[in-house]
């Protein structure tokens, strides 16, 4: 605990609430992401995990509360500064959100190509160095997103997010729909990115095996609030009904052997 | 009875309020777009892509419609005004109708169907699949990257398409006049040149530019505000074609009235 207090707070979410018309999705959410920490957010579908992520990155405005990234209050920050802060974030969306009019390699280097001129050869080289770690073949670089499988699209989206080495990673269900082998590859990658100096990550996931592999801390969103938080190990002793439900989705010896 | 009446008032009122607020939203979108168009950076490569898409690939359909319209005009004029038939009347009616009205309007409607639908569907798809969200998180402003190139390209292409369409339409009239009505070619051409007026060309170009803005703005607006799901994309596509067609036909009246009223 003492060690944690020294760590820098990267993202701080305080008293955030969000509703759509009469549909209250989030109510008084509080949590922090510390430097070097990997946080997993779990919760049933429709519980508001993606909405929370979109509030953090400023695509949705919270009805109340504050969101700080590296001590910058994001909610009413001017557009220019907000954009600058967002550039240090690597984000994936639940459904990939690859640009379907651009080739795979153009998708991957999109952010850095926006800042500096990069020719085709350099661009492909950069993209290649990233996808190699993700178990993807070089021949997909020249294809369009619609020409590769869903699992590959997911990994290309991750490649796009980590291109340029952002310090903060925000992944919305990065392993859903992937086979277990590729899933664990992605988990390793998230771990690797976090263990790099200063890297921190928030991963939204349903996959409990992946929670156990990557997370230092877990929060559960249920009934609009954070109804449980703790370490992956603590989940196994938790009395919380929803946590127990989630735990049942894996067999526990997996965790013991890991 | 009273119940029914109140209900009717209620729904009509609600519809009316939605309608007015939509118009308000549209004008905010319009102003916003103009603001982003005049600010750098400009994505020249994307503007060029759009020019090819809107301009070049619309040529066949625009050419075909205006060509046949020119032919029909010549034929109808000849049959309808039997007593005053001459090179001069047919040439004049074909020329004036095409340059002032048919060229711009037919081109506008064709492009609205082809390009408006495509723009709306493309942007709506990007919206519902979170690609627009992704753009924002990757250091790009969707207004500048996505919308501005389309508006700029439409503004450049549609006037050019109209000029080309006009020429082809007049040629269509010429073909009928010479090969079917057996008019004298040089007299027909002479009559055409004589009635060709700068003010008509200017008016046609103004119309074309206005249609360009209508088509691209309306399509981008509906695409950008599409709601989740496949119906969202479908609704955006249909609405943008219907609304831009109606706006084209309304605005052509207004512009005509301003010029010649
Ligand atoms: N843009 C939006 N407009 C209205 N309602 C939304 C919007 N985005 C999400 N919601 C609603 O918020 C709730 C939570 O959605 P979401 O965060 O996507 O859930 P999940 O936890 O599965 O990621 C759902 O009821 C959804 O309908
Ligand atoms: Mg989600």
Question: Is A57 in contact with B137 (Cβ distance < 8 A)?
Answer: yes
Contact between A200 and A81 under an 8 Å Cβ cutoff? The reply is no
A84/A11 same-domain check = yes
A24/A135 same-domain check = no
Domain count, chain A: 2
Query: Residues of chain A with pLDDT > 70: what percent?
Result: 94
A205/A158 same-domain check = no
DSSP secondary structure letters along A232-256? HHHHTT---HHHHHHHHTS-HHHHH
The verdict on residue A80 lying in a domain is yes
CATH number for position A202: 3.40.50.300
- Pairs across A and B, CB distance < 8 A: 45
The per-residue pLDDT for A255 is 52
pLDDT band at A238 (very low <50, low <70, confident <90, very high): confident
DSSP secondary structure letters along A13-79? EEEEEEEETTEEEEEEEEEEEETT-EEEEE--TTSSHHHHHHHHTTSS--SEEEEEETTEE-TT--H
Whose CA is closest to atom 9 on ligand 1? A51
Contact between A217 and A229 under an 8 Å Cβ cutoff? The reply is yes
Least Cα distance to A103 among A123, A117, A129, A86 occurs for A123
A47/A172 same-domain check = yes
The per-residue pLDDT for A110 is 96
Cis bond upstream, residue B53 (ω within 30): no
A126/A161 same-domain check = yes
Would you say residue A256 has pLDDT above 60?
A: no
Average of per-residue pLDDT across A15-33: 95
Would you say residue A4 has pLDDT above 70?
A: no
The tens digit of pLDDT for each residue in A109-166 reads 999 998 888 899 999 999 999 998 888 999 999 999 999 998 899 999 999 999 988 9
A83/A140 same-domain check = no
A82/A172 same-domain check = yes
Least Cα distance to B241 among B68, B102, B120, B60 occurs for B120
A160/A201 same-domain check = no
Greater pLDDT, B229 or A169: A169
Provide, as residue numbers in chain B, all residues whose Cβ is less than 8 Å from the Cβ of A111.
138-139
How distant, in Å, are the alpha carbons of A109, B2, B11, B225, B239 from that of B15? 46, 20, 6, 18, 16
A172/A249 same-domain check = yes
The verdict on residue A121 lying in a domain is yes
Cβ of A45 under 8 Å from any chain B Cβ? no
A161/A172 same-domain check = no
Question: What domain range includes position A19?
Answer: 1-28+39-88+168-176+192-258
A144: exposed, middle or buried (Cβ count in 10 Å: 0-12, 13-18, 19+): middle
Least Cα distance to A4 among A49, A36, A47, A43 occurs for A36
Cβ of A144 under 8 Å from any chain B Cβ? no
Nearest-CA residue of chain B relative to A109?
B138
The per-residue pLDDT for B84 is 65
Give pTM, 2 decimals: 0.87
The tens digit of pLDDT for each residue in A48-97 reads 999 999 999 999 999 999 999 999 999 888 888 888 898 899 999 998 89
The tens digit of pLDDT for each residue in A186-229 reads 898 888 877 765 689 999 998 888 999 999 999 999 999 999 99
Return per-residue pLDDT of chain B as tens, 261 residues.
778 888 888 888 888 888 888 889 999 999 999 998 998 888 999 999 999 999 999 999 999 999 999 999 999 888 876 666 677 889 999 999 999 999 999 999 999 999 999 999 999 999 999 999 999 999 899 999 999 999 999 999 999 999 999 999 999 999 999 999 889 999 999 999 999 999 999 999 999 999 999 999 999 999 999 988 778 999 999 999 999 999 999 999 999 999 987
Q: Is A210 in the pocket of ligand 1 (CB under 6 A)?
A: no
The verdict on residue A247 lying in a domain is yes
What is the C-alpha separation between B88 and B195, in angstroms, rounded?
Answer: 9
CA angle at residue B111 from B217 to B98, to 5 degrees? Answer: 115
Tokens of B244: 């831009």
Domain end position, chosen among A166, A200, A222:
A166
Least Cα distance to A108 among A85, A138, A148, A141 occurs for A141
Please give, one letter per residue, the 3-state secondary structure of B90-152.
HHHHHHHHHHHHHHHHHHHHHHHHHHHHHHHHHHHHHHHCCHHHHHHHCCCCHHHHHHHHHHH
Average of per-residue pLDDT across A219-244: 91
The verdict on residue A52 lying in a domain is yes
The per-residue pLDDT for A207 is 87
What is the C-alpha separation between A229 and A223, in angstroms, rounded?
Answer: 14
pLDDT band at A258 (very low <50, low <70, confident <90, very high): very low
A117/A83 same-domain check = no
DSSP secondary structure letters along A83-124? HHHHTTEEEE-TT----TTS-HHHHHTHHHHHHS---HHHHH
- Beta pairing class for A217-222 and A38-42: parallel
Mutate to test the interface with B, among A83, A156, A162 (most CBs of B within 10 A): A83
The verdict on residue A186 lying in a domain is no
H-helix or E-strand containing A181?
helix A180-195
Handedness of CA B252, B254, B259, B261 (dihedral sign): positive
The per-residue pLDDT for B239 is 93
pLDDT band at A6 (very low <50, low <70, confident <90, very high): confident
What is the C-alpha separation between A51 and A45, in angstroms, rounded?
Answer: 11
Strand partners, A64: A17
The verdict on residue A184 lying in a domain is no
Q: B1: Cβ–Cβ under 8 A, 6 or more apart, which residues? A: none
Cβ of B133 under 8 Å from any chain A Cβ? yes
Mutate to test the interface with B, among A51, A80, A114, A164 (most CBs of B within 10 A): A114
A139/A221 same-domain check = no
What is the C-alpha separation between A227 and A43, in angstroms, rounded?
Answer: 10
């Amino acid at each position: 605990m003492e060690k944690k207090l020294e760590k820098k707070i990267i993202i701080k979410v305080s008293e955030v609430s969000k509703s759509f018309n009469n549909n209250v999705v989030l109510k008084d959410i509080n949590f922090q992401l510390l430097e070097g920490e990997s946080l997993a957010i779990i919760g049933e579908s429709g519980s508001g995990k993606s909405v929370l992520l979109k509030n953090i990155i400023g695509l949705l405005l919270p009805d109340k509360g504050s969101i700080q990234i590296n001590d910058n209050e994001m909610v009413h920050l001017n557009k220019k500064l907000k954009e600058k802060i967002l550039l240090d974030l690597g984000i994936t969306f639940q459904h990939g959100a690859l640009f379907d009019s651009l080739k795979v390699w153009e998708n991957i280097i999109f952010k850095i190509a926006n800042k500096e001129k990069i020719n085709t050869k350099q661009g492909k080289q950069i993209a290649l160095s990233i996808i190699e770690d993700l178990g993807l073949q070089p021949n997909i670089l020249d294809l369009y997103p619609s020409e590769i499988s869903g699992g590959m699209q997911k990994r290309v989206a991750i490649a796009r997010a980590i291109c340029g080495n952002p310090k903060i990673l925000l992944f919305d269900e990065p392993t859903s729909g992937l086979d277990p082998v590729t899933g664990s590859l992605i988990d390793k990658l998230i771990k690797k990115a976090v263990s790099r100096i200063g890297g921190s990550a928030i991963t939204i996931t349903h996959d409990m095996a992946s929670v156990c592999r990557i997370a230092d801390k877990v929060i559960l969103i249920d009934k609009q609030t954070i109804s449980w938080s703790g370490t992956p190990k603590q989940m196994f002793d938790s009395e919380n009904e929803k946590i127990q439900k989630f735990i049942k989705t894996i067999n526990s010896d997996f965790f013991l052997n890991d | 009875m009273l119940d029914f009446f109140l209900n009717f008032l209620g729904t009509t009122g609600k519809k009316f309020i939605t309608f007015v607020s939509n118009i308000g939203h549209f004008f905010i979108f319009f102003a916003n777009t103009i603001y982003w168009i005049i600010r750098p950076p400009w994505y020249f490569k994307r503007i060029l892509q759009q020019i090819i898409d809107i301009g070049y690939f619309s040529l066949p359909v625009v050419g075909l419609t205006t060509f046949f319209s020119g032919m029909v005009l010549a034929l109808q004029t000849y049959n309808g005004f039997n007593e005053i038939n001459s090179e001069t009347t047919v040439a004049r009616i074909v020329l004036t109708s095409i340059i002032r009205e048919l060229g711009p309007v037919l081109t506008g409607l064709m492009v609205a169907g082809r390009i408006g639908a495509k723009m709306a569907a493309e942007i709506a798809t990007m919206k519902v699949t979170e690609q627009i969200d992704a753009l924002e998180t990757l250091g790009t402003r969707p207004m500048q990257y996505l919308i501005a190139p389309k508006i700029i390209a439409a503004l450049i292409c549609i006037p050019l398409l109209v000029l080309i369409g006009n020429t082809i339409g007049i040629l269509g009239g010429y073909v009928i006049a010479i090969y079917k009505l057996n008019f004298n070619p040089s007299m027909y051409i002479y009559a055409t040149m004589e009635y060709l007026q700068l003010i008509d060309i200017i008016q046609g170009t103004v119309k074309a530019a206005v249609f360009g803005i209508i088509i691209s703005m309306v399509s981008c607006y509906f695409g950008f505000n599409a709601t989740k799901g496949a119906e969202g994309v479908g609704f955006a596509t249909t609405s943008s074609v219907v609304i831009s067609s109606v706006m084209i036909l309304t605005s052509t009246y207004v512009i005509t009235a301003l010029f010649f009223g």
